[in-house]
Structure 1
Amino acid sequence: MKAPFVALWLALAAASTPLAAHSAEQVDFVLNWTPTADHAPIYYAKQQGWYEDAGIQLKIEAGRGSSTTAQRVGAGAAPLGISDFPTAMQAMGKGAALKAVMVIYANSPQGFYWLKSSGIRDAKDFPSRKIGNPPGDASRQMWPAFASAVGIAPDSVKFVNLSPQAKVAALKAGSVDIISDFYNEHDLKAQEFGEDLAFLPWRDIGINVYGNAILVNARYLQQHPETVKTFVGITQKAYAKCVEAFEPCLKALMDDVSGLSADTQRNQWARIQELMRDETSTTVALGAFDLERVQRDYELVNTLVGLDKPFDPLGVVTNDMLSPAYRMP
């Protein structure tokens, strides 16, 4: 009698395994661009099994720009994603149902690059020049704010559509005069152009708005609050771990994403940590929003860029998903 009982028990145990696997909820997570060092913590947490152990089957998708990601998440085509925060605000003004639950870049990563040999001395020389970047690029969405800050007409430049990978080559070939890019990509251009490279970070002209943030579809958040809180908690922990030691996170990224240079990604991560660090991330929590800054960012976007429909900026962010146990050093 014992043998049939054991066989039955083994059969039930085997049957329970696929059920447990199926109990995990698939969550699609859309990046702002193709995966690089700033996304390494997410790949690290996934490789470690942290999401899966918590009941989340995470699917990471490459993005096509902050604007596109904000629209997708806002429309419910994906529950979660990463977008430049002011760009997400513009999407909210168009009716996108979004809530920001964690900020990655506490400082603006936006910057313009050009060659000194082109004759451009500063932003006052941008008029009549060509700026190369993708159509969904956050700097293109925020261009009116930049133009206003430096005192040039918003329509005084011509934008040229480029993929992220084509920016450096286009600048080198002279097919564009200026390119926009995030500060974490700075070393690639510095190595390529040396002393001929000129760089203007937006934060140097007073536009230090929040950068990349994790967004959730508002309806999904309402229906799955525990899933979102679990996802954010794991992601916050992963970023903290990668700040402590980046090499395991770099390995996880490169194990999953081909064509990356380890040295380039290390350089990027060093600059990303500069972007992640501010008073709030060091004293409140890694990933936390300062609500006064959120209000200022909203006023800047509304005044200088324009919103189709106004909304309460403090109603579209929350720090409730974050743990104060994780802070930037």
Structure 2
Amino acid sequence: MKRLLTGIVAAALLVGCAPSGQNNNSGSGSTNSGSSGPKETVTFTLNWVPYGEHAPFYYGIEKGYYADEGIDLQIKPGSGSGTTIKAVAQGQTTFGWADTPPLLNAISSGMPVKSVGVFLQKGPASIEFLAEKNIKSIKDLKGKTVGGTPGDAMYASFPALLAANGMQPSDVTVVNMDAANKIAQLAAGQVDAIMGFFHDQGPTIENKTGKKVDHLLFADSGLNMLGLGIVASDDTLSSKKDLVGKFVRATQKSWTEAAKHPEDAAKVMVDLAENEPPQEVLVKQLKLAITLLQLKTAGAPGVNTEKQWSDTIDVMSKNAGLKEPGEPSKYWNGSFAKADGS
């Protein structure tokens, strides 16, 4: 049994019985900035079950980056960004890893959470299809079937994607699908394409079918939105500001080092995670995720700008039903993720 399983189960039991704002929500141990002292147990819920994008977190545990900040990190699988955000808001987990569009919707609906840094600064939302379909542009989707999951940001903004490329909703047949079944249905030929995260699903489909998968990014087709990052509750931001800074700093280092050593990070994930894809798939997924960090412009993982947030808010308000959009500060606290890692 892999080494994290016991800790994950224990953390799940711990946070499940703790009301929001209690010490058990983010650990009962004392905070210590050194690797040799007592650690504070911190739970971190992913956006989905583990896949290659998550390797940096496991790598950071193995290399001691979280321990160096006095953190005993317990990683929990997720079941969608929306569910993860809700768990953070309700105090069921200390931090979450979630996509920005559903985060904006959650905050707009009144959830007391904020981003403390988006790492995938180029959104991974895409239209995916087998290369044999010979789809080269959004316009090539005319007359085809596309699978999507009602309620997610890609589904909501798909009509805007079509409009941005001179098409009408009637040009494409959208087939409603459960998120967990889209890959199998595409592989079985039940639809021509699916809406999804290319860096996660593409390598998985290729591994299962032996066929090459291509994609069209929303970001390259007129709808660029920030992707996945760290979410914290307003309560944690106010009562445990020092912990937030330590967690963000350790996560920045974990991503920086994993980007330099993706094969090593994937191997560590195989040793520590549960129900992860095969190692060769993890490596492909992680390498694709690394391209979305935009490190040349950001300076360091998780460092965002007001313009990036304003642009994402604008796209969401115009095309995905975001109500009372507001300023970036409504959704994002940029004081923790620093370009110099300090």
| Structure 1 length-normalised TM | 0.80
**Which range moved further: 198-207 or 155-164?**
155-164
Q: What does 1:128-143 align with in structure 2 at a 5 Å threshold?
A: 130-135=145-150, 137-143=152-158
**Which range moved further: 109-118 or 298-307?**
109-118
Structure whose CA Rg is larger: 1
| Structure 2 length-normalised TM | 0.77
* d(CA) in 2 for partners of 1:256, 1:136: 32
1:36/1:115 Cα in 2 relative to 1: closer, same or farther (>3 Å)? closer
* d(CA) in 1 for partners of 2:156, 2:99: 10
1:264 aligns with 2:281: yes
1:111 aligns with 2:135: no
> Is the CA contact 1:131–1:178 (under 8 Å) kept in the aligned structure 2?
yes
Structure 2's unaligned 5+ residue stretches are: 1-27, 31-38
> Is the CA contact 1:93–1:307 (under 8 Å) kept in the aligned structure 2?
yes
1:83 to 60, 82, 98: 98
Structure 1's unaligned 5+ residue stretches are: 1-20
> Is the CA contact 1:112–1:178 (under 8 Å) kept in the aligned structure 2?
yes
- Tell me how far 1:158 sits from its aligned partner: 3.4
SS at match of 1:158: strand
- Tell me how far 1:105 sits from its aligned partner: 0.7
> Is the CA contact 2:128–2:198 (under 8 Å) kept in the aligned structure 1?
no
Higher helix proportion, which one?
A: 1
1:323 aligns with 2:342: no
- Tell me how far 1:161 sits from its aligned partner: 2.4
* d(CA) in 1 for partners of 2:52, 2:131: 29
> Is the CA contact 1:171–1:178 (under 8 Å) kept in the aligned structure 2?
yes
Q: What does 1:44-193 align with in structure 2 at a 5 Å threshold?
A: 44-115=59-130, 122-124=137-139, 126=141, 130-135=145-150, 137-153=152-168, 157-164=173-180, 166-185=181-200, 186-190=202-206, 192=209
> Is the CA contact 2:198–2:215 (under 8 Å) kept in the aligned structure 1?
no
Aligned-residue CA RMSD in angstroms? 2.9
* d(CA) in 1 for partners of 2:131, 2:69: 52
**Which range moved further: 134-143 or 315-324?**
134-143
1:209 aligns with 2:234: no
SS at match of 1:247: helix
> Is the CA contact 2:52–2:286 (under 8 Å) kept in the aligned structure 1?
yes
Q: Which whole-Å deviations, capped at 9, do the CAs of 1:163-216 have from their partners, x for residues lacking one?
A: 44x333211323333212223133444563646x55321122121211111111
> Is the CA contact 1:43–1:253 (under 8 Å) kept in the aligned structure 2?
yes
* d(CA) in 2 for partners of 1:279, 1:86: 24
Kindly provide the amino acid, as one letter, of the partner of residue 205 in structure 1. Answer: S
- Tell me how far 1:254 sits from its aligned partner: 0.7
> Is the CA contact 2:165–2:222 (under 8 Å) kept in the aligned structure 1?
no
Aligned residue in 1 for 2:308: 293
> Is the CA contact 2:50–2:276 (under 8 Å) kept in the aligned structure 1?
no
**Which range moved further: 303-312 or 292-301?**
303-312
**Which range moved further: 235-244 or 94-103?**
94-103
- Tell me how far 1:142 sits from its aligned partner: 3.4
* d(CA) in 2 for partners of 1:47, 1:242: 11
Q: What does 1:242-281 align with in structure 2 at a 5 Å threshold?
A: 242-257=258-273, 258-281=275-298
Kindly provide the amino acid, as one letter, of the partner of residue 320 in structure 1. Answer: S
What is the aligned-residue identity percentage? Answer: 28
* d(CA) in 2 for partners of 1:201, 1:159: 19
* d(CA) in 2 for partners of 1:98, 1:169: 34
